[in-house]
Chains A and B, each alone.
Chain A
Amino acid sequence: MDARILISALVLLGMTGCSSVQMGTKRDAYPLMYTDKKPVSMLVVPAINESTAADAGDLLNVTVAQPFADHGYYVFPVPIVAEIFKREGIVEGTQVKGLPTSVFKKNFGADSVLFITIENWDKNYMVVAGNITVGIEYVLLSTETNEVLWSYDQKVVVDTSGSSGNILVDLVATAINTAVAQYVPVAAQVHATAIQSMPFGKYHPQSGADGESRSVNLAAKDAALDPTK
């Protein structure tokens, strides 16, 4: 333990001069998740889409159940839930954002509700440089108390620039790479990265045992709750 503290301190010292990334433990960042308020089940409501891609919400739905289920949570079947909401005229998370979360407990039996905001879902093409960017904000609320159980803001940028050094080749390569780049794997990567901060749920073998895991980027945790973002 002492050696680890020493090494961490040295690493931190080495990082002074660059912006230091503040990491916290899961238990410190999300204390409610280590009490009996930790949810067993999670309802994913339609995404809040801040991007210009109209199909981002639908494509996101394809990716969202697996990572959270693999993290030990019971996720209500996303395609069915999406259709139920659609039938009620709800296709966007903003339509249900202001509701008391007890509504979801009453109608679905859900312990928690996950609000996802798609902040970025775009391809940026700058001729000899390009990338595909997916940025997602996650906020998990308790349906008992409306409290925030978990929050995170995560962005992944995949460079699609051609880099052969030959400018003509790179022009074409960048155009093609950017055009064929697929959003879904990048979204999956966003979930995979963000979820490292999240306490494991009941169905995961490490449930409850990960409190000391220092995997929470505190800025990312707070950014998700910042209403000015």
Chain B
Amino acid sequence: MNRAITIFVLAALIALTGCQTVTPAGYYWGNYSKTLYAYTKAPSDETLAQHSAELERIIEVSKDKNLRTPPGIHAELGYIKARRGENALAMAHYESEMQQYPESRLFLERLTTPADGTKR
């Protein structure tokens, strides 16, 4: 029973994380859920750095394999960069997200325009 559970958990985790596979919709997710889970369970600079690194890696691999980056990956990384004050990089990532997913434009433009209307 133990083994069955282990196998089930592993299979579900693999299904969830996508490992090295590209999903039918054409996305590579890498270890996205694993690093996001770690950060959610125990938020810290370290777990955030690991999640951030995984986002970078997903973007790299997607580029190499000529795939669209999964929805939200560029946006998430841009948000993390913006929090760190790396505004130029943040904007670049938001731009990539908007280019790949035009439906994200209103959302990301609002994210980057402070309430007083000045562009950061």
State whether A205 touches B105 (Cβ < 8 A).
Answer: no
B92 CB within 8 Å of chain A: no
Contact indicator per residue, chain B 11-22, by CB within 8 Å of chain A (1) or not (0): 011011010000
Task: Write out the residue numbers on chain B whose beta carbons fall within 8 Å of the beta carbon of A80.
Answer: 72, 75-76, 79, 111
Which of B5, B13, B79 has the largest number of chain A CB atoms within 10 A?
Answer: B5
Given contacts A62-B40, A70-B27, A77-B76, contact A111 B1 (CB under 8 A): no
Contact indicator per residue, chain B 21-37, by CB within 8 Å of chain A (1) or not (0): 00111110100110011
Task: Write out the residue numbers on chain B whose beta carbons fall within 8 Å of the beta carbon of A100.
Answer: none
Task: Write out the residue numbers on chain B whose beta carbons fall within 8 Å of the beta carbon of A192.
Answer: 15
State whether A74 touches B105 (Cβ < 8 A).
Answer: no
State whether A188 touches B16 (Cβ < 8 A).
Answer: yes
Chain A interface category by residue count: 35 or more
State whether B76 touches A61 (Cβ < 8 A).
Answer: no
Task: Write out the residue numbers on chain B whose beta carbons fall within 8 Å of the beta carbon of A76.
Answer: 71-72, 75, 104, 107
Taking Cβ atoms with an 8 Å cutoff, the residues of B that contact A are: 1-2, 5, 8-9, 12-13, 15-16, 18, 23-27, 29, 32-33, 36-37, 40-41, 68, 70-73, 75-76, 79, 101, 103-107, 110-111
Taking Cβ atoms with an 8 Å cutoff, the residues of A that contact B are: 40-41, 58-59, 61-63, 65-66, 69-80, 107-111, 158-164, 173, 177, 181-182, 184-186, 188-189, 192, 203-206
